[in-house]
Amino acid sequence: MGSLILRSLRMRKVQTASIIASVALSAALILAFGLVYGGVTKGIELSDERGGADIMVVPADAEKYLTGADLLFTGAPVSMYMTEDEVRAVSDIEGVTRVTGQFFSQTLDQSCCSATSPTRLIGVDFTTDFVVTPLLDEGFAGELGANEVVVGSRVDGISQGQISILGKPYNVVSTMAESGGELDESIVMDIDTAREISRNTDGNERYWDMYGDPSELVSCIMVEIDDEQLTRVETKLNLMRELSYVEHSETAERAQAQLKAVFVLLAGSAVLMLVVTLLQIFARFYSCVWDRKSELALYRAIGASKSDIRKLIGGEVCCLVVIGLVVGLALGAVAYESLISLLLDTLAFPFVGLGAPAVAVFCLGIIALFAFVSFLSVVWPLRQVGRLDPSLAMQQGDID
């Protein structure tokens, strides 16, 4: 039976290749779209859940260099500073419940540390922090030593519990839970340690000449606000000309809206290819009993049962779909990696990749979908097999 199935497929090379290509492209588009959409959805959910602060307050000129989305969702390099007096000024605004300052030391890469991708080095004041600490294990002591750091979920380059920063090894105490934001690509240390590193880094003197001693500076202020007072706080911040701010929820919604066109295009392409594939499979096998009746009658005449003929037709469908799915899922994985890299390079948005179990379930769902589509395509041909009269079919040939 297997040899007959393969022979039949080889005899119809163009039809076979076109159906395999259609199945592969459909599966690839569905997989790539599903993984991207799932990762963005998960990123937005985690960003809302674990973002910590309602607003990030930054110096007024910060958004000349980076957008609010870049500040919130990426480890993009940024050098911006303001005095700690601004932390106290923001904390005094009615409606503000908690504030904590952070110091951006610099963005690291392979030229200066063991991390292989751009990684923001952030100094955190753990005496007031409410953003980083909730992402750490319950066993976290609440402070970091001068040679200790915690790292984001997407930070690599860690070896034997240590990471190299500017040629010096630091002990990795903990890894932060995924947040869908800039902390996923950041290394966090005590704020005084980060300030000292920046003070001793060549080329940073111009910042201290401009802003003052780094021991009295912060880069941003993370602010938690009473929900009912958000508008009032924003109004007060707008009056502070030396400051600007990025609202977390609004920025996430704007980033999601930017991706809407991409999602619509991917979803439309996937649905269109799925319909084309269904029509191709249906067209191939709907009339196959009629078009190949002399061939099938010959098999019946030499002893093949109706069940054998059904197995032959079903086997052809299975081979086409299985080969197409194997190729398609492999292409989909490559397309997903390429697409998400392109999107992350051009847009800033919260993203957390789906875990292996979720990806496996999604792939099984795609397989089940194509199995169902294939079944619909061959129901009628399989019913026709039972009505085939071998002697009459051999007399008439393939054309009535």
Query: How do residues 122-156 score in pLDDT, each as one tens digit?
Result: 899 999 998 888 888 877 878 899 899 999 888 88
Residue 387, both tokens: 């009505």
Q: Which residue has the tokens 């904390």?
A: 91
Specify which residues 225 forms β-bridges with: 96
Which tokens belong to 45? 């959910």
Report the alpha-carbon distance of residue 115 to residue 109 in Å, rounded: 6
Rounded to an integer, what distance in angstroms lies between the CA atom of residue 51 and that of residue 65? Answer: 22
> What's the confidence (pLDDT) of residue 382?
65
Torsion over CA of 176, 179, 180 and 181, rounded to 10 degrees? -80
Taking CA atoms, 179 is separated from 49, 76, 80, 242, 331, in Å, by: 8, 16, 23, 29, 29
DSSP for residue 178: P
Helix, strand or coil, per DSSP, at residue 113: strand
> Is the pLDDT at 318 greater than 90, yes or no?
no
Per-residue pLDDT, averaged over 392-399, amounts to 48
Q: Whats the size of the chain, residue-wise? A: 400
Other CB atoms closer than 10 Å to residue 49's CB: what's the count?
11
Q: Which amino acid is residue 220, in one-letter code?
A: C
pTM of the entire predicted model: 0.69
Are 11 and 326 spatial neighbours (Cβ–Cβ below 8 Å)?
Answer: no
How many whole angstroms separate alpha carbon 388 and alpha carbon 308? 13
Residue type at 215 in one-letter notation: S
Separation of alpha carbons 267 and 34, rounded Å: 9
* Mean pLDDT score, 361-375: 87
Q: Measure the CA–CA gap between 149 and 137, rounded to whole angstroms.
A: 14
The per-residue pLDDT for range 24-53, each reduced to its tens digit, is 988 998 898 889 888 888 877 776 666 667
pLDDT one-digit tens code per residue, 103-124? 988 665 544 555 556 677 889 9
- Token pair recorded at residue 142: 């609440």
DSSP string, 315-371: HHHHHHHHHHHHHHHHHHHHHHHHHHHHHHHH------PPPHHHHHHHHHHHHHHHH
Q: What's the average model confidence in pLDDT over 156-167?
A: 84
Rounded CA-CA distance 258/347 in Å is 8
DSSP-derived letter for residue 398 is S
Sign of CA dihedral 372, 378, 380, 383: negative
Model confidence pLDDT, tens digit, residues 46-60: 766 666 678 888 888
State the chain's mean pLDDT as an integer: 79
Query: Which residue matches tokens 């890894």?
Result: 175
Q: How many CA atoms within 13 Å lie on the side-chain side of 229? A: 13
* Residue 271 clears pLDDT 60, i.e. is over it: yes
Residues 73/48, Cβ–Cβ less than 8 Å: no
Going through the chain in order, the beta strands assigned E by DSSP cover 55-59, 82-83, 96-108, 119-124, 148-151, 162-165, 168-175, 186-190, 217-218, 220-225, 243-247
CB 382 within 8 A of CB 313: yes
116: DSSP letter: S
Winning range, highest mean pLDDT, from 49-53, 276-280, 340-344: 340-344
